[in-house]
Amino acid sequence: MKLYLVRHGETEGNSKNIIQGGGTHGILSEKGINQVKKTALELKNKKIDVAYVSDLNRTKQTASELLKYHPNVKIIYDERLREKHFGDFENKKAEEYLRLKEEFVAKGILFVPNGGESPTELELRVKNTINDIIGKNKSKNILIVGHGTYIRYVLCFLLSIDIQTSHPKYSHSNAAFSVIELNKNKKYELKILNYKEHLE
């Protein structure tokens, strides 16, 4: 079994440094569309049995391009794959969020925006969702089209890595992909991490 983890292409919001979490759909920029087309070519000859896609517009757009070469693959849109929710900071410039987060961290306090999702809440959502998807698709190759923070949590969960110390190694660029494989010993191995050479 293999998992192909793909982040959506660049969005208009990404290009303007605007926070787009689980409460913001977003649309791909022209650059983002071109990125995804290149990623689609990279995955063209890979065996994919089923695709799970975040139900936000930016991931739907991405999946549509990726699966043009896999027309018979079943697509399941799943809201549980949405990006971390940033509450009051959704669809706003990232600078203020990062400034406040740094202030809280300096005081040893966890910063969770009003109406937003805490790291613990996201971690639990990721674990439950990925366990469910894998449980329903044993021995299959699964494509997951999602978001930057969410994919980082997936990688850390499957590889048994502390999420709090993983950044930035497991960060994911727009339209980049990672591959995890379940080996003969039933252990997950990271085969490819944040592959983006085709985008450069």
Structure tokens at 178: 């990672």
Structure tokens at 161: 């890595």
Structure tokens at 187: 């252990």
- In the residue annotation, 83 being an active-site residue is answered as yes
Q: How many CB atoms lie within 10 A of CB 99?
A: 10
Structure tokens at 123: 């971690």
**DSSP secondary structure, the chain, as one string:** -EEEEEEPPPBHHHHTTB---TT----B-HHHHHHHHHHHHHTTTS---EEEEESSHHHHHHHHHHGGG-TTSEEEEEGGGPPPPBGGGTTSBHHHHHHHHHHHHHTT-----TTB--HHHHHHHHHHHHHHHHHHSTT--EEEEE-HHHHHHHHHHHTT--GGG-TTTT---TT-EEEEEE-TTS-EEEEEEEE-GGG-
Out of 10, 83, 90, 117, the active site residue is 83
Cis peptide before 119 (omega within 30 of 0): no
Out of 8, 70, 85, 172, the active site residue is 8
- In the residue annotation, 189 being an active-site residue is answered as no
Any idea which residues carry the catalytic annotation? 8, 83
